[in-house]
Amino acid sequence: MTQRVVLHVGTMKSGTTSLQALLFANRQVLAEQGVLVPGQAWRDQVAAVREVIRTGAADGPAWSALADQVSAWSGTAVLSMEYLGTFSKRQVAAVVGSFPDRRVEVVVTARDLNRQLASMWQETVQNGRAWGWEDYLRSAHRARPRPGRRDRHLTEAGRTFWRQQDLVRITRRWAEAVGDGAVTLVAVPPPGAPHAELTARFGRVVGFDPTGLAPGPVSNASVGAASAQLLQLVNARLVELGIATSDGKPVRKELLAKRVLGGRARSEPKIGLPVARWVRSYAAGMVEQLRADDLRLEGEWSDLTPVEVPGTDPTKVAETEVVAAAHDGFDGLRALLAERRPEPSDRPGLPEWPASRAVGQREAVEVLARLLEAALAPV
């Protein structure tokens, strides 16, 4: 049996969460097919990748534990963590070098650029960023990879987007370490394709039959246009209150964004985005570069053609809709916080939603921001 390790390195928002959930929900069945998913849970792979990011080496305890499992396995092993896609040359070399007795192959899942723009913005605001929708799109446009570009005048939003989504850079960096023929691009199917098609494509590359596999629990809920706009406004207010983007991520993302606001996504219009001329032009040039490289492709190159994202411009959402999202977000988050935190008599309680009058958008944002501020205050 061929001894190989497959590194699924991203990109972000390209079906990675569903594929990771499927891998760990079916570890035993996949092992019977000769495919090892190292670690007891996906968080073990996350911890190992973060360890490499922190140390710049692939010899720490978390990564070594996974590498030892791979070394003891006689067939294929697969690791999936999208932070690998942003790795430096040094980090890539360290990871590849940690599997000296294995053929290392790399899988990059990729979705068309227009859908990525919409998905990545809402992910950034869920993660606490205060980048506005229009500024984000403008920054991505200005920062698009071009020969001879100097980065000193680019915004953090633009640099961040392309660090995570520059397919040419990501595939070439990994190909330098594993060889051109060992990198496979798996295209995310276009809208309307069968839901299982991405899994089928990924399975063909890794080497497993997805028939009958359980999909696995997926907790990476999206939010609607009103909720996304609300999160951006709340994040901006929290910055004014001196709360850093990274502060309180479990409360801000996992509780407020995912559990509470994600639950009302079906009642809101989705974030919409027409295909801009620059998006179409850049994507065509990107595909031309990728086709010129010695990449294997699973899917069709046409799958990377930008498509319109139907929905609403989040900045055009009525203020009443943002207020409604804020009210639901406040009530839901407050209930979760009340369950989790003790209320000693010498500590102020959580704030209340104003009950005696109508609340406008600015006040709604302020009240929700103050609840988050209270939740993040040291006990």
- Nearest-angstrom CA–CA distance, 48 and 51: 5
- What is the chain's alpha carbon radius of gyration, rounded to the nearest angstrom? 22
Chain centroid, CA 203 distance in Å: 21
**Do 57 and 108 lie in a common domain?**
yes
**Do 207 and 238 lie in a common domain?**
no
Does residue 80 fall inside a structural domain?
yes
**Do 258 and 285 lie in a common domain?**
no
The pLDDT of residue 345: 42
- Nearest-angstrom CA–CA distance, 81 and 106: 12
Does residue 40 fall inside a structural domain?
yes
Q: What are the tokens at 19?
A: 């594929």
- Using the Cα atoms of residue 309, residue 313, residue 314 and residue 320 in order, give the sign of their dihedral: negative
- Using the Cα atoms of residue 61, residue 66, residue 67 and residue 71 in order, give the sign of their dihedral: positive
**Do 39 and 63 lie in a common domain?**
yes
- Nearest-angstrom CA–CA distance, 30 and 37: 8
Does residue 37 fall inside a structural domain?
yes
**Do 279 and 366 lie in a common domain?**
no
Does residue 123 fall inside a structural domain?
no
How many domains does the chain divide into?
Answer: 2
**Do 279 and 369 lie in a common domain?**
no
- Nearest-angstrom CA–CA distance, 4 and 141: 39
The pLDDT of residue 378: 73
The whole domain housing 350 covers: 225-269+318-376
The pLDDT of residue 294: 82
Does residue 9 fall inside a structural domain?
yes
**Do 331 and 206 lie in a common domain?**
no
**Do 248 and 322 lie in a common domain?**
yes
> Mean pLDDT, 10 residues at a time, over the chain (379 residues)?
89 96 97 97 97 97 98 97 97 97 97 98 96 97 82 82 97 95 97 95 98 82 95 97 91 95 95 98 97 95 98 97 97 92 59 88 97 86
The pLDDT of residue 148: 65
Per DSSP, the residues of 147-194 read: TT--GGGS-HHHHHHHHHH-HHHHHHHHHHHH-GGGEEEEEPPPTTS-
Q: Which amino acid is at 346?
A: D
Q: Which of 280, 372, 370 is nearest to 333 (CA)?
A: 372
Does residue 149 fall inside a structural domain?
no
Q: Residues 363, 326: contact at Cβ < 8 Å?
A: no
- Nearest-angstrom CA–CA distance, 177 and 353: 55
**Do 215 and 230 lie in a common domain?**
no
Buried-state track 116-147, b at ≥16 Cβ within 10 A, e below 16: bbbbbbbbbbbebbbbbbeebbebbbebbeee
The pLDDT of residue 219: 65
Q: What are the tokens at 360?
A: 């406008």
pTM of the predicted model, to two decimals?
A: 0.94
- Nearest-angstrom CA–CA distance, 97 and 183: 16
**Do 169 and 247 lie in a common domain?**
no
**Do 211 and 326 lie in a common domain?**
no
Does residue 146 fall inside a structural domain?
no
**Do 181 and 237 lie in a common domain?**
no
Q: CATH number for the domain including 178?
A: 3.40.50
Angle between helices 361-376 and 225-240 (to 10 degrees): 60
Does residue 126 fall inside a structural domain?
no
